[in-house]
Amino acid sequence: MKTLAKAVNEGYVIAWRNLLGVRRSMDWLFAAVVQPIMFVLLFGFIFGGALGGGQYREFLVPGIIVQALAFNSAFTVVGLSTDLGKGVIDRLRTLPISRVAVMVGRTLSDLAVTVVALTVMSICGLLIGWQIRGSFLDAILAYLLLLMFAFAMCWIGALIGLVVRSPEVAQSAGLIWLTPLTFISSGFVPLDSLPGPLQFVAEWNPITAVMNAIRSLWGNPPAPGTTTLGSESWPVAHALEYSLLSSIVIIAVFVPLSIRMYRRATARQ
């Protein structure tokens, strides 16, 4: 327990170091916030007028929020690969700190940036007509679920960053697998509008589960022209349970994998 507590405390210190770097280089924070705002405005007003106006925007905003949190894992990829490339990790290795602390610090600092992005997106959504119609406790639960999902995605990004290691390739590697995964979901259209094979993939997509769960908790309506989420399969009918389970499994799998890869990467240097 003392070793774990020491690693967590050291992780907080490294996270603060990373956040100081964000403060000195605001383009990172700017990119994390501006991209989702652009998606909200473009999809909300360009497609919203043809697909149901205000009701579509209420359906859309939760999907955009989850997509943006998933995309923000690319910052973990870039940040970790950059630290490896610039020798920052080498300098940290010379200090009497836990190797786990470096990974914990990176994911916690990126989670803090995600909190800022989530706040800005929520305000932007309110300005274009999105509302939280559920109870206060349900709304808080939805935000906690989003943060848990974002933390899980950061660990996937950490593993990719350690595997790629090249800052030039890292950004593309962090997004290339996420783009189809976030669009083959219930983020922008109801599930029953997708072709059969894609609908099956979307139903079991953890990103779809998070989108459906927070829509339910926030009391947001389904897509215009539909009365349900578009499917009665188990992951759709139990979106909250499936989204929690998915995040827990991702964390349980990718935390040890990332730490093992980090040890291998630093041992070779």
Alpha carbons 240 and 95: distance in angstroms, whole number: 42
| pLDDT for the residue 264 | 80
Alpha carbons 216 and 229: distance in angstroms, whole number: 10
| pLDDT for the residue 251 | 95
Tell me phi and psi for residue 65, to 5 degrees.
-60, -50
Among 68, 74, 58, residue whose Cα is nearest residue 35: 68
Domain span at residue 179? 2-267
Q: Which residue ranges of the chain lie beneath pLDDT 50?
A: none
Number of domains the chain contains: 1
| pLDDT for the residue 15 | 79
Alpha carbons 162 and 47: distance in angstroms, whole number: 38
User: 224-246: per-residue pLDDT in tens?
Assistant: 656 566 667 888 889 999 999 99
| pLDDT for the residue 27 | 65
Among 205, 106, 202, residue whose Cα is nearest residue 157: 106
| pLDDT for the residue 49 | 63
